[in-house]
Amino acid sequence: MNFAAPQSRRISRVAVAMAASTLLAWQSWAAPRGGQLTYAEPILPDTYNPITTSDNETSLRLSELLFESLVFIDYKGEVKGRLAEKWNTFNGNQRITFYLRKDVKWHDGVPFTASDVKFTYDAIMDQMSDVRPETRQALSVIKSVTVRGDNVITFDFASSVAEPERRFLFKILPEHAFEGKTALSKFDKFSKNPIGTGYYKFDRESKNHDVMLSAFKDHYGGSANISDIKMVYQPEVTLLMQSLLLNAADLVVEVPPGKVAEIANAGKFQVIPYNSLAFAFFGYNCDNPVLNIKEVRQAFTLALDRAKMLEDIYFGKGELISGPFSPASWGYNPDVPVKPYDPVKAKQLLEKAGIRDNDGDKVLDYKGKPLKFRLKIPIYSGNEGGLSVCLRFKHYLKAVGIDIEIEQREYQKWKEEVKGKHDFDIVFAEWLFDNSSDISSLFHSANSKPPFGDNFISYKNPKVDSLLDVFSRTINHEVRRRLNYQLHEILAEESPYTFLWTLEKNAAIANKVQKVIVHPYRFFTFVNEWFISGDERN
């Protein structure tokens, strides 16, 4: 799972339905080839190396065009082979063997082999590599890797692993491009001139940060229908929408909620809804002695009119949540209700915790001191609604006697202070999920140590730890579902987060681009099937 930062993820039900109907309509028809697709991004990529990109969604989408993984998630949310033709599991899911395609070439013409897979694994596990902690953590259960020839590789796990193939969604790198060096940096030369096996190859980046890609004609699946893809950088949201309306861009991945109707009414675009399985939250630093009191956290949640916030700020395009999953996730417990807006009960809970106005200044005190908390919010294009959410939070908390100071930080600085140093009281953020519903990194006490743990709120609960440990060892899907239901119930009660909502996202793409199916997290997974119609290809 990732921060929803510059701008933890299954296929959405909307995307599945669209995919099913589209496939039936097009399955017997050969799409025309040619043309250029231009899409606009509000944030620059931080690297072209898919292993070292952190939570930069621009880089993530580009990596989906340039690189491939052993397996991928299809329209139905099921695991299918990409670079791997097939795989077998053995010894109660303690071993998995992948049988790789024999017709894959890197963009420079070098054949792809199992050694590239082994190299990528070694690079991820190299402690000197600039790699997402959750990527390394997902592979930490592997105890050995054996290359059994050019096209066969075996991974042995320390214990049985549920759905082990889902741990191999990471992109594969070319061993020959690194000269044996496994300590990867997002600033090395490969990150400026990447070589992948994907449907598109990297051509160049211009001085104004436009990125040019061209269809890889030697791809084992055949050349993609669209000849060229151009990514243009536009950090201003207003100009981003204008570029779409004035035909300077064919695609915007995420249209602001307030602009969806305007784009749809223009008549030139397909507006495609999708659900990234993300959820927004306020997180409370449990190292703060006041915020470590459960009743205080519960009170903060009850003090917020989240339904009104969702309606006013995001035009109601989302759904309130009661726990640490999107409602579209199999881990979400539908029997846990969303806490209501109840400022009266919020004040009662604060009183119960010994927090009251002792001097009549309308600011609550705790042990003789007025309460004031620092709320940190990241600044980046696309998070304009986040400031409005935090201002509402400040307003609602002031109504029950709590003073909130909002501290805005440029995204990287925010990340350093929050995740690296735990220097905050309250944080506003969003988590993005892929195909997983494993929340161990968020709430297990073992992941609370800075600077790498995702449990930066320092939440500690032995019962939660125990359930998460059992979850990690459990293979049976239904048992895992029940464990997540229990975790959902406990965390809803404990309120280490104020769980806010999951938002509906909308992409806009010009009508000339046909057969568009989007992956809600990686977006371009099915881009090889897209095509540009008629004279628009010129």
Dihedral sign computed on CA atoms, order 311, 317, 321, 324 = negative
> How many DSSP H helices and E strands does the chain contain?
14, 26
| CB contact at 8 A, 18 and 515 | no
pLDDT at 124: 95
Instruction: Answer yes or no: is pLDDT of 12 > 80.
Output: no
pLDDT interval class at 3 (50, 70, 90): low
pLDDT, one tens digit per residue, over 82-135 is: 999 999 999 989 999 999 999 999 999 999 999 999 999 999 999 999 887 778
Where do we find the tokens 């735990």? 422
Instruction: List the single range of 5-14, 61-70, 141-150, 378-387 with lowest mean pLDDT.
Output: 5-14
pLDDT at 321: 97
The β-bridge partners of 340 are none
Using alpha carbons, list the distances in angstroms from residue 516 to 48, 78, 169.
24, 19, 22
Distance CA 196, CA 179 (A): 16
3-class DSSP string for 37-48: EEEEECCCCCCC
Helix residue spans in 86-186 (DSSP H)? 114-125, 133-139
Read off the pTM. 0.83
Instruction: Answer yes or no: is pLDDT of 29 > 70.
Output: no
Tokens of 299: 């009170």
Instruction: List the single range of 24-28, 304-308, 517-521 with lowest mean pLDDT.
Output: 24-28
- Nearest Cα to 341, choosing from 503, 502, 500? 500
Catalogue the long-range contacts made by 476-480 (C-beta closer than 8 Å, 24 or more residues apart): 476/162, 477/162, 477/163, 480/162, 480/437
CA 341, distance to chain mean position in Å, is 29
pLDDT interval class at 360 (50, 70, 90): confident
Q: What is the DSSP string of 185-253?
A: -TTSGGGTS----SSEEEEEE-TT--EEEEE-TT-TT---SS-EEEEEE---HHHHHHHHHTTS-SEES
**Phi and psi angles of residue 30, each rounded to the nearest 5 degrees, phi first:** -85, 120
| CB contact at 8 A, 68 and 198 | yes
Distance CA 65, CA 57 (A): 13
pLDDT at 403: 94
Distance CA 196, CA 282 (A): 38
Distance CA 188, CA 449 (A): 28
pLDDT, one tens digit per residue, over 212-262 is: 999 999 999 999 999 999 999 998 888 999 999 999 999 999 898 889 999
Instruction: Answer yes or no: is pLDDT of 390 > 50.
Output: yes
